[in-house]
Amino acid sequence: MPEIHYDAAQQWVLNLTLAMMVLGLALDIRPKDFLAVFKSPKAPAIGLLAQFLLLPAFTCLLTLLLDLPAGIELGMILVAACPGGALSNFITHLSGGNTALSISITAISSTIAVVMLPINFMFWAGLNPVANELLLNINVDGFAILKSLLVVLAAPLSLGFLIQHFLPNVALKLHHILKYLSLLALVAFIFIAVYNNLEHFLNNFWLLFAVVLAHNALALSLGYLSSSLGHLPVADKKAITLEVGMQNSSLAIAIVFTQFGAEYGMALISAFWGTWHIVAGLLFAGVCRAGVFNKNAELNT
C-alpha cells in the first residue's frame, strides 16, 4: 500500500491551525446567539438533525451501494460524522444566508461533536462490513478519537468562551486576527499537503473527484431538502445547506493521521474533501448571489 508523505511536524501545524479556527469561532459567539436559538429552535434543530443523523446515515447507505476501497468508504463515513467547519460561516455570509444561524449551528455541532463524532463514526462504520473490517484491523476505539477531540475542539472552545467573558476587548481584536490568519494557514496547509502528495492525487484523481463530488452533492442536498421540508425562510435554507454541505474535513484529516496511522484511502478522501468543499461552497454562494437559489427556494416555500 502506498504511503502518504506526512510527518509529526505537519500534524502539529494542522492541530494548531484547527485550534486557531475553533478559538476564533468561540471568540465570536455571544450569549445572544444561543438565546436566539432557544427562542426559535426549529432551524438549528433541523440543521443539527441533518448533520448528525441524515448525513451519516445516507453516507453509510451510499458506501453500501458503491464498491469502493475500504479506506475510502471509511473516510467518507468519518467526514460525514464530523461537525460543520468554521469556513461555512464565511460562505453563508457571502451567499446572503443567515450568518447568526450558521455560527450557532457550527458552535453547537462543534461542542457536541466531542461526544457525537466517535459514537456516530463507530456506529455507522460498524454497519458497513468492508469499512468495519478495516476499522477492526487498525484497532482504533472511540475513546482514542474522543481524546483527540478534547484537544482540538473542546480546549480551544473553552478558552475562547473564557477570554470573551473576562476580556471582551481582547476577544474582539483576537477574533479579527484569527479569522484571517487561521483561514490562510488552512489554505496553505492543504496546498502544501496536496503538493507533497501530488502523485497520489493524480493517480487517483478521477476516483476521488467522482466520490467527493457525489458525497458533497448528497450533503448539500440533504441540507437543502431538510430545511425546505421544514418550511424555513430562504436565508435559513442557505445557512443549513452550507452547514451540512461543508463538513470540518480538516478535523477528519487530523483524526486520520493521529488515530489511523495516515491510512491511504482515508487520508486522500479527507484531503480531497477539504479542497473541494471550498470550491462547492463558493459556487453555491455565486448561484445565490445570482438570485437563482432565491427563486427556487421561494417556489418551494
Per-residue pLDDT of the chain (301 residues; tens, 9 = 90+): 565 556 556 667 777 777 787 787 778 766 666 676 667 789 999 999 999 999 999 999 999 998 899 999 999 999 999 988 777 877 888 888 887 788 788 888 888 888 889 899 999 999 999 998 888 887 666 677 777 777 777 788 788 888 888 888 888 888 888 877 877 776 777 677 677 767 767 777 888 889 999 999 999 999 999 999 999 999 999 999 999 999 888 788 878 877 787 788 888 898 888 788 888 988 998 888 887 666 565 555 5
SS3 82: coil
CB atoms within 10 A of CB 151: 14
Radius of gyration of the chain (CA): 18
Q: Which residues of 41-60 are buried (b: 16+ CB within 10 A; e: fewer)?
A: eebbebbbbbbbebbbbbbb
Q: Give the architecture (CATH level 2) of 8-300.
A: Up-down Bundle (1.20)
CB atoms within 10 A of CB 273: 30
The three three-digit cell numbers of residue 127, written as one number: 454497519
d(CA 76, CA 229): 26
d(CA 40, CA 270): 34
SS3 270: helix
d(CA 10, CA 65): 35
Pair 50, 240: CB distance under 8 Å: yes
d(CA 229, CA 199): 43
Helices (H), the chain: 8-27, 31-39, 42-49, 55-65, 70-81, 87-95, 99-126, 129-138, 142-149, 155-166, 168-196, 198-203, 205-229, 234-245, 249-259, 264-289, 292-300
DSSP annotation of 4 reads: -
d(CA 34, CA 180): 24
Phi/psi-derived region of residue 29, left when phi > 0, alpha when psi is between -120 and 50, beta in every other case: beta
d(CA 299, CA 301): 6
Please tell me the predicted confidence (pLDDT) of residue 289.
82
d(CA 73, CA 266): 8
